[in-house]
Amino acid sequence: MSVDLFCKKTTFQDMKKILIIVPDGGMLFESAGIADIMMQANRLHPKIATETCYQVQLATTQPHQVIHGQSGLNLLADHRLHEIDPREPLDTIIITGRGQNPQEGIAVVDWLRLAAPHARRLASLSVATGAAGRQASHHPLETT
């Protein structure tokens, strides 16, 4: 099947689901920036495409949906990570930080172990989370 950069209905995979995992205490521009870029791509794709190319959702590792940033600003997550079925097919899982305590990291790695076989790719925005992704996927070259 050919690559379709415009997400036409005839392609192998229409909409790409992207989950951004945002641990507490991180830099919010990472997750907000990625979400903004994907939504801008949706707005700019040709009018002949009838569906959006990207669906972006934020998940927090906290028991609540508020993500507290380093700056003191807050971001409201779409989901709490423990509420998301890790077997749900996702195109991309992005982790934007390592969290403020070891329990957060353990929770993310445990969830990623279950989710990795159902995702096309894992990505991280720091060395610490890259290691978590490699540990969860058991394929060191498949995380970026």
Mean pLDDT of 23-30: 87
In this predicted model, what pLDDT tens digit does every residue of 87-107 receive, in sequence order? 999 999 999 987 788 888 888
Q: What pLDDT score was predicted for residue 53?
A: 86
pTM: 0.76
Q: What's the per-residue H, E or C state across the chain?
A: CCCCCCCCCCCCCCCEEEEEEECCCCCHHHHHHHHHHHHHHHHHCCCCCCCCCEEEEEEECCCCCEEECCCCCEEECCEEHHHCCCCCCEEEEEECCCCCCHHHHHHHHHHHHHHHHHEEEEEECCHHHHHHHHHHHCCHHHEC
